[in-house]
Structure 1
């Protein structure tokens, strides 16, 4: 008669296998491109960009034509606005943003790497809820919000930043909605 392994052995084997898969995926994700921080803080004489008006963020606007169909994030370069659109074509949230100095080309992208914990953005500001979706001219383009809720400082001359910054509540909503593999459509 053949001995059958105990349930503890099966559970242990499955746990070890699952742990190995998670570690392999974490190592693979860690090899991806990451934003770099500048060592020079913003100029003390620089003035911050004005905050998007609450009424602008709150007022409903129509999702731009040509932004595709299905569940997606839509980013309008001209309107400096984002829409979170569900599978039924309903807009779950829309809000204005502060774009970086490097814009992605119009087109379709996919959310790749995400970083929830605070990191230092290319403008020297602590940011969180970072959702990467494109690389343009060697610069990572990602959605994020400042940990302290502030607007980004004006970039120093020649500094290339790909961060698309938003208010804290909007950053949290985009983080929840923009899971890996989510489509991001960029329109003019």
Structure 2
């Protein structure tokens, strides 16, 4: 007899893990640029889940709000790269900041570190800035700017937009207002 199953009740993201070129440089960069505290490290010569010999350093950083960002340094693996079929702007990690003032302050701080920053970019419900870490990972800082009514409107049209996209592979215009920045 088959056992009935249900989807798990998730309690949030435990951590997100990416690869890095140099664990020490990465920990220092995220501390200096984004203020993340270095919290934990695991280092093994054998991968616990597979038993394979593959020495690694696994570092964990506090990303705020109970969120953890982790990195693996894998010195015995080929040099890390990007998926050549995916544009550099697609794969990224976005962090929330409190408001537009915090976003602009963060931009000034990051640029003062000698890092190129794109934005702020207007997205209707939020504004963002973009930049790259020393490993080539694209990062985004975003602040919410949408009203509760706008958020609800976007949520209400999301199913129709996804269905239209699935059928046409063309950008649906059910929430065209999101793409028109108001005149200052």
TM-score category, normalised to shorter length: under 0.3
TM-score, normalised via structure 1 length:
0.23
TM-score, normalised via structure 2 length:
0.24
Q: Which has the higher helix share?
A: 2
